[in-house]
């Protein structure tokens, strides 16, 4: 079995467990007044589990397959790919998650976007800095003001 089908099989197991939790365990502890609502807290996890099961079954059954191309990933030649970039990006994601609270949303997100684009090969600083700044401020404004979810914009020692 190909690598993509093994990954799909693992993801199918995860989606089935997630779906079981969403369908059978999440709604048991709802307050009585919430049971009359048309949308429950488990609605989105239920939809996600169904979509995940559907997508993984498409991959497992081979409906998305076409003729093998030169661009397909060959797991026997993983050393020839840019694994360093991928590992640095994963490490950057972990560092972003750990720095989000102490450094605040604005600093950690802008730093993540700038360093992530640098790792992926972007070297035009005059484009990278304004795009990262605008994206960071736009997401913060949407989450903070439009959705009403408080996110600490700055570190605590700067008044955040």
Q: Where are the alpha helices (DSSP H) in the chain?
A: 3-20, 43-61, 83-103, 105-119, 125-141
CA distance 50 to 56: 10
The answer to the question of residue 77 being in a domain is no
Predicted local distance difference test score (pLDDT) of residue 81:
75
Residues 6+ away with beta carbon under 8 Å from 134? none
Predicted local distance difference test score (pLDDT) of residue 74:
67
The count of structural domains within the chain is 2
Would you give the DSSP letter of residue 145? Answer: I
CB 132 within 8 A of CB 96: no
Closest CA to 52 of 17, 22, 12: 12
CA distance 141 to 151: 10
The answer to the question of residue 74 being in a domain is no
Could you list the residue range(s) of the whole structural domain that residue 20 is in? 3-67
The answer to the question of residue 135 being in a domain is yes
Q: How confident is the model at residue 90 (pLDDT cuts 50, 70, 90)?
A: very high
Q: How confident is the model at residue 12 (pLDDT cuts 50, 70, 90)?
A: very high
Per-residue pLDDT tens digits for 117-140: 999 888 899 999 999 999 999 999
Residue 34 CA, chain-centre distance (Å), reads: 29
The answer to the question of residue 114 being in a domain is yes
CB 89 within 8 A of CB 116: yes
Predicted local distance difference test score (pLDDT) of residue 5:
84
Q: Are residues 52 and 95 in the same domain?
A: no
Would you give the DSSP letter of residue 146? Answer: I
Q: Are residues 86 and 144 in the same domain?
A: yes
Predicted local distance difference test score (pLDDT) of residue 50:
93
Per-residue pLDDT tens digits for 18-76: 988 888 887 777 777 777 777 777 788 889 999 999 999 998 888 777 665 666 666 67
Q: Are residues 101 and 33 in the same domain?
A: no
Q: Are residues 108 and 152 in the same domain?
A: yes
């Amino acid at each position: 079995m190909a690598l993509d089908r093994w990954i799909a099989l693992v993801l199918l197991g995860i989606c089935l467990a997630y779906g079981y939790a969403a369908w059978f365990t999440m709604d048991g502890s709802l307050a009585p007044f919430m049971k009359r609502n048309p949308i429950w807290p488990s609605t989105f996890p239920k939809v996600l589990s169904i979509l995940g099961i559907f997508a993984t079954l498409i991959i497992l059954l081979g409906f998305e397959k076409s003729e093998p191309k030169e661009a397909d990933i060959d797991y026997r030649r993983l050393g020839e790919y840019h694994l360093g970039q991928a590992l640095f990006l994963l490490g950057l994601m972990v560092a972003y998650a750990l720095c989000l609270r102490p450094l605040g949303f604005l600093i950690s997100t802008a730093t993540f976007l700038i360093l992530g684009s640098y790792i992926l090969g972007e070297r035009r600083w005059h484009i990278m800095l304004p795009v990262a700044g605008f994206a960071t401020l736009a997401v913060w404004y949407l989450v903070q003001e439009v959705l009403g979810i408080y996110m600490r914009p700055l570190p605590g020692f700067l008044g955040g």
